């Protein structure tokens, strides 16, 4: 490895031999239950992970495949909390990845948006005016009695909105991509709880910070 690569925390990709789901489960000390929430289209080749109910004015758009992927939630069965939210594009094996930002959560709910779905939910919020409440008047109707939502909720116009409880609630959580040995993005994920009792974040192979 060159000195420059070492300084910037980069290493040559090494194929882990594990798909995204297997790699995440294998890297986490807690027992994780996998929920496949459903397919999510990405025709513009960009996504952002945001609070479901408080979209930020300037999302951090992440370049991804335009083929669409699966919303996958990893649930810590011991603590009864969602640990990781991922958008998985491929069954290729994990070889690397990158840190691509953070998702600020202020309502205990996380989501994935494309530029189109982001525009749609903002129009939806605007439709409530000053007296309406998008959560109590709409999203709360989709809550599960036991909590821990892990689903995709369609807006009235059909726009798919992942509706995921963020394991430890409000805060700022890291967002990463995972890549195959050719450097293609095969997943984007955010870590709500860390991989062990000390709360160390689940970083992609070769990413030190």
Q: Are 86 and 20 in contact (CB under 8 A)?
A: yes
pLDDT at 7: 43
Is residue 201 in a domain?
Answer: no
User: Does residue 208 lie in a domain region?
Assistant: no
Average pLDDT (46-61) is 90
For residue 203, is it within any domain? no
Instruction: Quickly count: other Cβ atoms within 10 Å of residue 64's Cβ.
Output: 23
pTM over 0.75: yes
Q: Are 11 and 207 in contact (CB under 8 A)?
A: no
In a domain, 204, yes or no: no
Selection from 88, 104, 106 nearest residue 37 by Cα: 88
* Burial (Cβ within 10 Å: 0-12, 13-18, ≥19) of residue 127: exposed
Does residue 52 belong to any structural domain of this protein? yes
Asked if residue 206 is part of any domain, the answer here is no
For the ranges 2-11, 25-34, 65-74, 102-111, the lowest mean pLDDT is seen at 2-11
Which 3 state secondary structure label does DSSP give 17? coil
199 in a domain, yes or no? no
pLDDT cut 90: percent of the chain above it: 81
Matching residue, tokens 């999302």: 59
The answer to the question of residue 46 being in a domain is yes
Q: What confidence tens digit (pLDDT) does each residue in 123-174 have?
A: 999 999 888 899 999 999 999 877 789 999 999 999 999 999 999 999 999 9
Total structural domains within the chain: 1
pLDDT tens per residue across span 82-123: 999 999 999 999 999 999 999 999 999 999 999 999 999 999
Q: How confident is the model at residue 11 (pLDDT cuts 50, 70, 90)?
A: low
**Residue ranges making up the domain that contains 138:** 3-191
**2 pLDDT higher than 60:** no
As a whole number of angstroms, the distance between CA 69 and CA 22 comes to: 17
Residue-level pLDDT at 192 = 96
């Amino acid at each position: 490895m060159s000195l420059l690569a070492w300084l910037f925390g980069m290493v040559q990709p090494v194929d882990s031999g594990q798909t995204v789901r297997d790699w995440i489960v294998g890297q986490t000390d807690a027992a994780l239950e996998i929920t496949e929430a459903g397919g999510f289209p990405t025709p513009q080749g960009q996504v952002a992970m945001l609070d479901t109910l408080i979209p930020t004015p300037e999302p951090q758009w992440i370049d991804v495949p335009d083929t669409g992927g699966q919303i996958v939630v990893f649930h810590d069965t011991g603590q009864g909390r969602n640990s990781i939210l991922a958008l998985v594009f491929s069954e290729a094996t994990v070889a690397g990845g990158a840190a691509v930002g953070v998702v600020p959560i202020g309502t205990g709910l996380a989501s994935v948006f494309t530029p189109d779905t982001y525009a749609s939910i903002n129009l939806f919020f605007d439709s409530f005016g000053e007296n309406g409440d998008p959560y109590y008047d709409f999203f709360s109707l989709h809550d599960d009695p036991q909590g821990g939502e892990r689903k995709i909720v369609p807006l009235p116009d059909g726009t798919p909105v992942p509706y995921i409880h963020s394991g430890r609630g409000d805060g700022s959580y890291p967002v990463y991509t995972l890549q195959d040995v050719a450097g293609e993005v095969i997943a984007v994920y955010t870590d709500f709880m860390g991989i062990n009792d000390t709360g160390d974040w689940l970083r992609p192979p070769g990413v030190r910070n």
